[in-house]
Amino acid sequence: MNSHLEKPYVVGIDIGGTNTVFGVVDTRGTILANGSVKTQTHNDINKYIDEVCENLLPLINAHGGIDKIKGIGIGAPNGNYYKGTIELAANLPWKGIIPLAQLFQDRLGLPAALTNDANAAAVGEMTYGAARGMKDFIMITLGTGVGSGIVVNGQVVYGHDGFAGELGHVIMRRENGRVCGCGRKGCLEAYCSATGVARTARELLTARTEPSLLRNIPSESITSKDVYEAAVQDDALAQEIFKATGTLLGEALADFIAFSSPEAIVLFGGLAKSGDYIMKPIYESMEANLLDIFKGKTKLLVSELKDSDAAVLGASALAWELK
């Protein structure tokens, strides 16, 4: 008998710096029930797991109980797929090395797999989204940071230590590179994340004198969403910010294509939803900088997964692989 029929559901848990979201998911990628808790409430990891489980168990019980669940997939910053541990995650309240998969496994009696959030997004896209049927693609998440999940021959590349795929930390600018949250200078993340777009906006507003809708917002509180809203209203400076961001990201993508010759690059996150303002410069810059042999071969796609669901779906997709 097909094991999917015996155990038709999986659980996805996404641990973010602010919120932890979780859900019960079926084989088609429908989230049947979901919930969330604040990640930062408990410095004690065991209390945190108790709180997640207290909120998750009623959802599981409403869908036939633990017996109907094949396993749990978890996405988290610095999640190590090999070891099931979170290590040295800057934005999480627990320090050191946390055996997260094992803790959930012990608590719920279900097999659990853990990976980092961008790898989870890649697995979700391959299972339920734009990369269905693809064996080679790169997922780029454009959020507070820039994350990536690299899929080669149908498998996520984890590297020998479980941490492969940190394309947000390739160095794009050696001269006067911006300081990145990782402590190094000139990383892609410092320019092409949502945070990077806001930094570019502040720099341009200071360096230039022309009028812009963005000047109506206190400089420190400008977000990438503000830049998008100004761009839609034909604000030239806002459009230029997206052009600069997209051009730099396109250069980076041309380099990534040289590495694994992916069938597609899938962009995920709020920035990717900024339409042609950012997609056009990304595509033009990517094609302009590609080695001739790669030109016109790699599709640039925007994720098909809804932002609010993608993290849970991506994490849940890991669980179908569990034995």
145-188 pLDDT, tens digit per residue, is: 999 999 999 999 999 999 999 999 999 998 999 999 889 999 99
235 and 92 fall within a common domain: no
Q: How many domains would you assign to the chain? A: 2
Q: Are residues 227 and 113 in the same domain?
A: no
In a shared domain, residues 9 and 101: yes
To the nearest 10 degrees (0 to 180), the angle between helices 224-232 and 194-207 is 70
Calculate the alpha carbon distances from 80 to 86, 88, 113, 312 in Å: 6, 11, 9, 17
End-to-end CA distance of the chain: 15
Return the bridge partners of 167, or none.
none
Distances (CA, A) of 311 to 11, 36, 176: 12, 12, 35
Q: For the sheet containing 299-302, what is the strand order?
A: 155-156, 146-152, 137-142, 264-268, 299-302
Same domain, 107 and 154: no
**Does residue 223 carry a pLDDT above 50?**
yes
Instruction: State whether 258 and 162 are in the same domain.
Output: yes
Which residue has better confidence, 4 or 46?
A: 46
CATH number at residue 114: 3.30.420.40
Domain shared by 148 and 266, yes or no: yes
At residue 215, the pLDDT reads 97
Same domain, 58 and 153: no
Show the 3-state SS of the chain: CCHHHHCCEEEEEEECCCEEEEEEEECCCCEEEEEEEEHHHCCCHHHHHHHHHHHHHHHHHCCCCHHHEEEEEEECCCEECCCCEEECCCCCCCCCEECHHHHHHHHHCCCEEEECHHHHHHHHHHHHCCCCCCCCEEEEEECCCEEEEEEECCEECCCCCCCCCCHHHCECCCCCCCECCCCCECECHHHHCHHHHHHHHHHHHHHCCCCCHHHHCCHHHCCHHHHHHHHHCCCHHHHHHHHHHHHHHHHHHHHHHHHHCCCEEEEECHHHHHCHHHHHHHHHHHHHHCCHHHCCCCEEEECCCCHHHHHHHHHHHHHCCCC
For position 1, what pLDDT does the model report?
45
What angle in degrees, to the nearest 10, is found between the helix axes of 224-232 and 276-289?
A: 100
- Give the other-Cβ count within 10 Å of 178's Cβ: 16
Residues 77, 209 within the same domain: no
| Residue-level pLDDT at 4 | 58
Range(s) of the domain holding residue 293? 133-303
Q: Are residues 169 and 200 in the same domain?
A: yes
pLDDT tens-digit series, residues 23-44: 999 999 999 999 999 998 888 9
Q: Mean pLDDT check: name the lowest of 118-127, 259-268, 300-309.
A: 300-309
Comparing C-alpha atoms, which of 204, 197, 250 is closest to residue 226?
A: 197
Cβ contact 254:180 at 8 Å: no
For 40-89, the pLDDT digits (tens) are 888 899 999 999 999 999 999 999 999 999 999 999 988 999 999 998 78
Asked if residue 257 has pLDDT above 60, the reply is yes
- Taking the C-alpha atoms of residue 82 and residue 91, their distance in angstroms, rounded to an integer, is 21
Tokens of 218: 């206190």
**Could you tell me if 288 and 156 lie in one domain?**
yes
Question: Is residue 105 located within the same domain as residue 155?
Answer: no
Q: Are residues 168 and 236 in the same domain?
A: yes
For the chain, what is the mean pLDDT?
94
Residue 5, pLDDT score: 66
Pick the residue with more confidence: 270 or 115? Answer: 115
